[in-house]
Every structure is written in C-alpha cells, then in structure tokens.
Amino acid sequence: MIVLDTHIWIWWISNPENLSNAASQAISRAVNENGIIISSISTWEIALLVEKGRLVLSIDVRDWVRKTEGLPFVRFMPVDNTIALRSVAMPGQFHSDPADRIIAATAMTMGLPLVTRDDKILDYPHVQTVW
C-alpha cells in the first residue's frame, strides 16, 4: 500500500510520463494489491487549483474525482482527528503548507510510504517516501 501526493495522483491519471520509474513501479504494485490511498485533502487541493485556473482537466473536476473513486484499487482517506492533530505536531522541521502536512501525516499515521516528487517532503526524514 502507498499514499499518493496530490501531484502524483494528477500525473498518474493524466500524465504518467512525468512519473519516475520507482513511482510507476510502486503504483503498479499497489494497483495489484488494491492499495492506493489518496487523502481527501488532495481532492480539495485539486478542486482549488482548477477553480483558480492553475490546473486544467479534460473533464469537470467532479467527474474526474468520481472516476478515481470508481477504481477498485483506490481508497480515499478522510482527514480524521488523528491525522489532523498529527499534521500539527510533526517532529522536526517540516514546511508549513497545510495540504502537504495532512498528506504526510496521513502516510505517517498509516505507516505507509508516500509517493511524491516534492523535495521538501523527500528531505523530511520522518516520512518514508518513494520517488
């Protein structure tokens, strides 16, 4: 099982050529194991990017998310109290982006690797990452 960062979710669906070999392999394994986790905060983040015109999808964002929800190997993880609290009390130095904090806290809480290209997350020693 793995957790996908928001940009990895977008690339996996829309631009898989942007993924590294390690990320592609981790996603392929997770598909076979019904083990892809996406934080619900990523849905919020994508909808916000679309609303601001910083991301253009080929279909309406609601339909785009619904199509992912329909995949049998994907599970969306809501931001529960444990994840919310952990995102505030992360050990060491972590950057202040709230969505990234919640996504990293999701992976940490679940004990799963986070697939990301974000250098700030890759450099953070308290979360296992794949890139």
107: domain CATH number is 3.40.50.1010
Percent of the chain residues past pLDDT 70, beyond the cut: 100
Does residue 10 have a pLDDT over 90?
yes
15 contacts: CB under 8 Å, gap ≥ 6: none
Q: Is 36 helix (H, G, I), strand (E, B) or coil?
A: strand
Model confidence pLDDT, tens digit, residues 13-46: 999 999 999 999 999 999 999 999 999 999 999 9
Local structure of residue 23 (DSSP, 8 states): H
**N-terminal to C-terminal alpha carbon distance within the chain:** 15
Q: How far apart are CA 43 and CA 99, in angstroms?
A: 10
Q: Is 129 helix (H, G, I), strand (E, B) or coil?
A: strand
Q: Tell me what pLDDT residue 72 has.
A: 97
pLDDT band at 95; cut points 50, 70, 90: confident
Of the candidates 33, 40, 32, 34, the one whose C-alpha atom is nearest the C-alpha of residue 9 is 40
The answer, as to whether pTM is greater than 0.85, is yes
Count Cβ atoms within 10 A of the Cβ of residue 108 and give its class: 0-12 exposed, 13-18 middle, 19 or more buried.
buried
Structure tokens at 60: 């309406």
Whether residue 115 contacts residue 27, with contact meaning beta carbons closer than 8 Å, is answered with yes
Q: Tell me what pLDDT residue 118 has.
A: 97
Q: Tell me what pLDDT residue 31 has.
A: 97
**Where in the sequence is the domain holding 119, given as residue range(s)?**
2-130
As for how many domains the chain has, the answer is 1
The number of residues making up the chain comes to 131
Q: Is 110 helix (H, G, I), strand (E, B) or coil?
A: helix
Report the pLDDT averaged over residues 84-107: 96
